[in-house]
């Protein structure tokens, strides 16, 4: 078990939404990706009208692209400095958006993801992501508990 200082049980519908979001992005279904962002309350509509909506869509797309890199090759080397640089740049971009969006559960989820990424980068880990990709893409919604 990995503990980053918080304990949280996520509702199944939240986990299903996260999984659907990843599946839509990795399968290059951008309309489905945007629809899921609306369902998860990150965007107000799929057109992403307005400056803030565009900034949020850009940030979340960039985040998905960065995390998608991990799964687009059979092995991923977390010691790659460009991954860390891109992640830091994306985090700075996120700080520029002053409006808080998304499910209240996302704060905890985000903390877990960034904690895990930080640990993998510090370890300089190289991980087998091919099986992870197959698992994510084959996971059926409703089984995320």
Using alpha carbons, select from 98, 87, 75 the residue that is nearest to residue 122. 87
pLDDT value for 77 = 94
- β-strand pairing of 126-128 with 75-77: antiparallel
Is the pLDDT confidence value at 78 over 50? yes
Q: How confident is the model at residue 97 (pLDDT cuts 50, 70, 90)?
A: confident
Six-digit token pair at 25? 């992005």
pLDDT value for 141 = 56
- Average pLDDT, integer, range 117-123: 93
- Mean pLDDT taken over the chain: 83
Q: How many CA atoms within 13 Å lie on the side-chain side of 76?
A: 21
For 17-76, how does the pLDDT look when each residue is reduced to its tens digit (9 = 90+)?
888 888 899 889 999 999 999 998 888 887 878 888 888 898 889 889 888 888 888 899
Please check whether residue 12 is in contact with residue 142, taking contact to mean a CB–CB distance below 8 angstroms: yes
Using alpha carbons, select from 110, 54, 123, 58 the residue that is nearest to residue 84. 123
As a whole number of angstroms, the distance between CA 66 and CA 145 comes to: 25
Six-digit token pair at 91? 């985090």
């Amino acid at each position: 078990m990995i503990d980053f200082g918080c304990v949280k049980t996520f509702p199944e519908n939240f986990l299903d939404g996260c999984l659907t979001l990843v599946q839509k992005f990795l399968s290059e279904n951008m309309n489905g990706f945007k629809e899921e962002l609306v369902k998860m309350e990150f965007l107000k509509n799929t057109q992403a009208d307005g400056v803030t909506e565009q900034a949020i869509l850009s940030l979340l797309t960039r985040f998905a692209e960065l995390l998608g890199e991990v799964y687009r090759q059979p092995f991923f080397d977390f010691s790659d400095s460009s991954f860390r640089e891109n992640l830091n740049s994306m985090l700075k971009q996120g700080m520029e958006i002053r409006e808080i969006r998304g499910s209240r559960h996302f704060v905890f989820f985000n903390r877990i993801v960034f904690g895990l990424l930080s640990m993998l980068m510090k370890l300089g880990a190289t991980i087998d992501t091919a099986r992870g990709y197959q698992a994510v893409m084959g996971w059926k919604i409703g089984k995320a508990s």
